[in-house]
């Protein structure tokens, strides 16, 4: 089999890139090691930047999102058990956000892929990358894998690694030519889904007992989180214990309005920040979680993945038109946005969580940061600008 671009991974990044290239008339094949049901079963982010909304619209996958998603114009921050600060995102930045779960985004992407005839090979095992030397001029990229009972090979001009942190793409880049940056946080998030109406506005909480988050997936599906030790397991947290802890942490005025109910999903996720540089090596290009991971505090993971593949698709389209410069600069272009999001997610994580080794000085400094945010319009504008997402191609003139 031959194609122009072999895409490894059919999550949001890989499927979105496939649709972008297909729309531009660039031949591509998407290879996914899991089944489509497995991919759709993963519970992930649920807050979309408006740039992401516009990109999905442009690919013909925005109709259900527009009908069922919830546009929200602000977020709230609660701390000390009583103060609630409302950050009016749209008023301060000019752009709102969209609450729409990643599972729903992925469902829409797969539906569109079927409609346009995008080739996705599911349950492809033993994936290996070949012919990569790190030199664009001498690379002869190919992908081998096992599917439908036999080994298959795809020869291509380029490989897009959209297969996540544990995929084959990132580890194909030799250690001596890449630099990895990582910060692990000493706690996790215990999250539940419940078929209950969410709060009218997404709320972050800094409490002496730990962080909490009240989010949503749709008008009758809520997503709640509480900070917990990494040593905890889901079995340690009954629904009753979770609701008691959540209602203790959020401000009393919010706790009075939260509707509790049985959980339909429960999981614990560790938090970390990770970036690999560069995001390209010869004719191999990384995107999404294959290149970077952010703590979910800033709602950046899915949005960064979509931005990566927009840059990458634009670069492949430019190359097809005879311009190689965008592809040569893909890593530099993408990493500028990545590091902005990584820094913002780190800052918000440090601002809102209680750390096991937090000294009295650290706690007072953190509280003062919250008071400054509450009292300064400039600080709120800065947070709003970063939260809703910086422009893909900022005007630096």
Question: Is residue 203 within 8 Å of residue 78, measured between CB atoms?
Answer: yes
165 included as an active-site residue: no
Helix H, strand E, coil C: the string for 218-273 is: ECCEEEEEEEECCCCCHHHCCHHHHHHHHHHHCCHHHHCCCCCCCEEEEEEEEEEE
Instruction: Give the integer Cα–Cα distance in Å for 105 and 13.
Output: 11
- In angstroms, the Cα distances linking 294 to 188, 262, 265, 300, 340 are 13, 29, 22, 7, 11
166 included as an active-site residue: no
Catalytic residue chosen out of the listed positions 72, 178, 266, 326: 72
Q: Is 24 in a helix, a strand, or coil?
A: coil
Q: Is 174 in a helix, a strand, or coil?
A: coil
Q: Return the CATH class of domain 5-72+96-182+272-355.
A: alpha beta
Count Cβ atoms below 10 Å from residue 150 Cβ, excluding itself.
6
Question: Is residue 337 within 8 Å of residue 347, measured between CB atoms?
Answer: no
Angle at 101 between CA 208 and CA 31, to 5 degrees: 120
* Sequence-distant (≥ 6) Cβ neighbours of residue 149 within 8 angstroms: none
pTM: 0.94
Instruction: Give the integer Cα–Cα distance in Å for 226 and 264.
Output: 16
Catalytic residue chosen out of the listed positions 204, 224, 225, 311: 204
Q: What are 368's two structure tokens?
A: 């003062």
Peptide bond into 395 cis (omega under 30): no
The half-sphere exposure of 252 on its side-chain side, counting CA atoms within 13 A, is 3
Question: Is residue 345 within 8 Å of residue 299, measured between CB atoms?
Answer: no
Instruction: Give the integer Cα–Cα distance in Å for 212 and 203.
Output: 8
> Which among 123, 131, 177, 129 has a CA at the least distance from the CA of 150?
123
* Sequence-distant (≥ 6) Cβ neighbours of residue 63 within 8 angstroms: none
Catalytic residue chosen out of the listed positions 100, 110, 285, 387: 387
Instruction: Give the integer Cα–Cα distance in Å for 103 and 105.
Output: 5
Could you tell me the strand order of the sheet in which 70-72 lies? 47-49, 97-99, 70-72
Catalytic residue chosen out of the listed positions 292, 296, 311, 353: 296
Instruction: Give the integer Cα–Cα distance in Å for 359 and 41.
Output: 40
User: How confident is the chain (397 residues) per 10-residue block, as mean pLDDT?
Assistant: 96 98 98 94 82 96 93 91 88 94 93 97 97 93 94 97 96 97 97 92 93 88 94 97 96 93 94 98 97 94 97 97 96 96 97 94 94 95 95 75
Q: Is 116 in a helix, a strand, or coil?
A: helix
Instruction: Give the integer Cα–Cα distance in Å for 350 and 98.
Output: 24
- Positive or negative, the Cα torsion across 149, 155, 156, 160? positive
Torsion angle defined by CA atoms of residues 118, 124, 128 and 133, in that order, rounded to the nearest 10 degrees: 10
Catalytic residue chosen out of the listed positions 70, 292, 300, 353: 300
> Which among 215, 221, 218, 234 has a CA at the least distance from the CA of 298?
215
Question: Is residue 214 within 8 Å of residue 235, measured between CB atoms?
Answer: no
Instruction: Give the integer Cα–Cα distance in Å for 370 and 368.
Output: 5
300 included as an active-site residue: yes
What pLDDT is recorded for position 42?
A: 78
């Amino acid at each position: 089999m031959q194609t122009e671009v072999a895409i490894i991974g059919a999550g949001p990044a890989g499927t979105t890139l496939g649709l972008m290239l297909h729309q531009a008339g660039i031949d591509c094949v998407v290879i996914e090691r899991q089944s489509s049901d497995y991919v759709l079963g993963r519970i992930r982010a649920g807050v979309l930047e408006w740039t992401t909304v516009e990109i999905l619209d442009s690919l013909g996958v925005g109709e259900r999102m527009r009908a069922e998603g919830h546009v929200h114009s602000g977020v709230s921050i609660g701390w000390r058990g009583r103060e609630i600060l409302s950050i009016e995102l749209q008023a301060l930045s000019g752009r709102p956000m969209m609450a729409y779960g990643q599972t729903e985004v992925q469902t829409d992407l797969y539906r569109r892929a079927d409609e346009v005839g995008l080739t996705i090979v599911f349950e492809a095992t033993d994936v290996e990358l070949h012919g990569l030397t790190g030199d664009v001029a001498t690379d002869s990229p190919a992908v081998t894998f096992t599917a439908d009972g036999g080994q298959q090979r795809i020869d291509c001009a380029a490989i897009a690694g959209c297969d996540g942190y544990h995929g084959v793409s990132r580890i194909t880049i030799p250690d001596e030519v890449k630099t990895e940056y990582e910060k692990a946080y000493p706690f996790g998030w215990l999250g539940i889904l419940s078929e209950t109406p969410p709060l009218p506005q997404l709320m972050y909480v800094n409490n002496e007992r730990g962080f909490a988050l009240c989010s949503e997936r749709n008008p009758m599906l809520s997503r709640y989180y509480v900070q917990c030790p990494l040593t905890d397991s889901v079995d340690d947290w009954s629904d009753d214990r979770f609701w008691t802890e959540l209602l203790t942490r959020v401000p009393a005025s919010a706790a009075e309005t939260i509707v509790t109910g049985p959980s339909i999903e429960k999981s614990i996720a560790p938090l970390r920040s990770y970036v690999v540089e560069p995001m390209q090596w010869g004719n191999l290009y990384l995107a999404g979680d294959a290149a970077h991971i952010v703590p979910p505090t800033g709602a950046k993971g899915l949005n960064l993945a979509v931005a990566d593949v927009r840059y990458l698709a634009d670069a492949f389209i430019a190359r097809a038109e005879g311009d190689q410069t965008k592809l040569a600069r893909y890593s530099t272009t993408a990493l500028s946005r990545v590091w902005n999001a990584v820094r913002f997610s780190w800052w918000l994580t440090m601002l809102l969580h209680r750390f096991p080794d937090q000294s009295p000085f650290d706690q007072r400094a953190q509280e003062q940061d919250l008071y400054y945010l509450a009292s300064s319009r400039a600080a709120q504008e800065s947070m709003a600008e970063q939260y809703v997402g910086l422009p893909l191609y900022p005007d630096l003139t």
